[in-house]
Amino acid sequence: MRVIPGETALCGRVYKDWLANNGLNDSIPEPVDLVPVGLRNVRNVCFLNAILQCLYYTPMLRRSLSLAFESAVVKDEWLVALRHLFKELDSSRSSKACVAATRMASLMQSASTNGEFQHGEQADAHEAFVLIISKLLEGCISARGLSIAEKEQLEQSSLIGHIFSMMLNQSVTCKTCKDKSSYSRAEYCFCVTCPSFTDRMRTRDRKNVVDVKELLSSFTQEEHISEWKCEKCSSSGCVRQAGIARPPNVLLVHISRIQQGWAPQVTVDRDLTIQYDGSSANTRRKVRYLLFAMIVYRSMGANGGHYFAFVRAGRGQREQWYLADDDEIRSVSFADVQREEPFMLLYEAQKMIPPVETDAEKKLLEAELVQASVKAQVQARAAQSTGLLVEQARAPAIYTQVDDSTRSSGRLEMEEACAKMLEPEDAYTPGTDMSSTTAGSEGRSRLDEHVFVRTQPDYERTVDFDRWSFFSSCRCSLPYAEYSEGFEDDRLHCM
C-alpha cells in the first residue's frame, strides 16, 4: 500500500481498513452498561469531570480507542491519558473508589494559552470540550508538511473525526441577480443560541418553553440580510441559509444563552431527528439520534457556577440514567434529566455513518484502478499468447517424411495450405508494426496476435509438426524458391 502524507494507523485508508478488518465499519457499538465511577474535584475541575464522564459513556469512543491500543502503536499523550483514565475507571468500579483525573488536568493546563484552564481557575466546559477534541484529533494524524485543507481532511477521516466530525454548509443568494455563493466547513460541535427577551417585550410575545429540536431547526431557516451588498450587481439584500452536508456519528450540541434579558426553558427529548443534504442535488435525508449524555451548568451568581453531568447506561429497555456530580453518583429517572437546563448534549446516531474519504485517497484510488487495469490488460495479452502456443502445440502436424519421388509435389501442396492459414484479416507488413515501448529496430514478436491457428485438413495429420510450426510462424519476406533444399529445418533461413 502506498503511503499518503499524514496518514497513520488512526486515520485515512489505514483506519478504514482497520475498521473493515475488525467488522466495525457498519455496526453500532453496545453502550456502557455499568454504574459510573466518581471523579474527585481537585481545585475547581468540575468542568473537566463532567466532560470526561460524557466521553467515558460515548460507545464509539470507548470501543474504538480500546481496540486501537490493542492493534496499533499509539504514542500521543492525549490519547494515552484518556485511555489510561478509562482503564482506571474500569478497575476502580469494584472498589467503589473515586478517581482523580490528574493527567488530563495537567494536559489541560499545559495547553492553556491565556490561563483559562489553570488549576484552581473556573473554566468554560464548552471551550474545554472543543480543546480536548482538537488535541485528540492531532494525535490521530501526522501533520508535518501538510496544508491546512489536507490536515482538516485527515482529521475528519480519523478515529476521533469519524465520531464527532460533521460538515456544515452555508449559501448566500442575492435577492436581485440571484447570484449564489456557498462554502462548507468541518465542525465538531453544533452551537445554537437560545432566544432571549427583554423586559420591554409584551408578555404574550414570550415563549416559556423551547425544545432542542426547535433550536436546531432555526439553524437551517432562511435569514434575510438587507445590509448585505452584492459584488456582482451592487444591489443590497440577500438570503442566507445554513444546512448540514454530512451528519456526525455523535452529535455534540452546545446551547448558548445570552446573559441579558429573560430566556425560556429548554426541554430535552430522548430522540432527535435532523435533516441533511444528500449526495445528489435537491435531495434531503434524515438521521435519528438518541440522547446518551448531558452537561448541566448551574449558576451561583457572583461566585461562579458548577458543572455536572447526566449519563445513560444501557439502551432501550435496559436504559438507566445516572447523575455524575464529581464524586457523587446516584441513579435518576429521565424526568429528572428533563427538569434540568442543558448546557451541552450528546446524541448517538442509530445508524453508523462511514468516515470521510480524503482527496488524496481518491486520487490514489484512481491511480491504483488505472494501474490495475493496465496490469490486467498485460496479463490478458500474456495469457492470449500462451494460449496460442498451446493451441499450436496441440495442432496436427502437416509434414511427414516422404520419399524423393513425392517430396516436390507434397511441398507444393503444403506451401498452398500454409499460405491460406497465414492470411489474417489485418495483414502484417514487416518492419511497420513497432511496439511503443521498444521503438527502433525491434519489431513485434513473431508469435503475436497476428498468428492464427486454423483447422487443418485430414491429410496433414501425418506430417512432422516441428518443421511446420516454425515455418508457419515465419515472417521472412524471402520467396520459397530461395530456400535451400539442404536446410534440415525451414526455420534456419530466418536466423
Q: Which DSSP string do the residues of 200-265 spell out, in sequence order?
A: TS-GGG--SEEEHHHHHHHHTS-EEEEEEE-TTT--EEEEEEEEEEE--SEEEEEEEE-SSSB-PE
Residues 6+ apart with CB under 8 A from 374: none
**pLDDT of 407 above 60:** no
Please report the pLDDT score of residue 458 as a whole number.
46
- Using a pLDDT cut of 70, give the percent of the chain over it: 72
Average pLDDT over residues 27-53: 92
Please report the pLDDT score of residue 412 as a whole number.
56
What is the C-alpha to C-alpha distance for residues 299 and 292, in angstroms, rounded to an integer?
Answer: 23
Please report the pLDDT score of residue 105 as a whole number.
92
The number of angstroms, rounded, from the C-alpha of 215 to the middle of its chain's C-alpha atoms is: 30
pLDDT tens digits for 204-230? 455 678 888 888 888 888 889 988 999
Contact 304, 122 (CB under 8 A): yes
Which residues, in sequence order, are bridge partners of residue 313? 320
What is the C-alpha to C-alpha distance for residues 124 and 47, in angstroms, rounded to an integer?
Answer: 7
Please report the pLDDT score of residue 432 as a whole number.
37
Please report the pLDDT score of residue 392 as a whole number.
59
242/395: higher pLDDT: 242
Arithmetic mean of pLDDT over the chain: 78
Distance set, CA 204 to CA 200, 212, 257 (Å): 12, 21, 21
Count Cβ neighbours within 10 Å for each residue of 380-391 and write b for 16 or more, e otherwise. eeeeeeeebeee
Backbone angles phi, psi at 115, to 5 degrees: 80, 15
Place of cell 478497575: 91
What is the C-alpha to C-alpha distance for residues 48 and 53, in angstroms, rounded to an integer?
Answer: 9
2/491: higher pLDDT: 2
For the chain, the domains span 12-357, 395-494
What is the C-alpha to C-alpha distance for residues 81 and 116, in angstroms, rounded to an integer?
Answer: 20
Please report the pLDDT score of residue 390 as a whole number.
59
Please report the pLDDT score of residue 323 as a whole number.
97
Contact 226, 237 (CB under 8 A): yes
pLDDT tens digits for 263-303? 788 889 899 998 887 655 556 788 999 999 999 999 877 77
What is the C-alpha to C-alpha distance for residues 395 and 465, in angstroms, rounded to an integer?
Answer: 8
pLDDT tens digits for 107-122? 999 988 877 787 777 8
**pLDDT of 487 above 60:** no
- Domain 12-357, CATH 3.90.70.10 — does that match? yes
CA atoms within 13 A on the CB side of 54: 32
Contact 163, 58 (CB under 8 A): yes
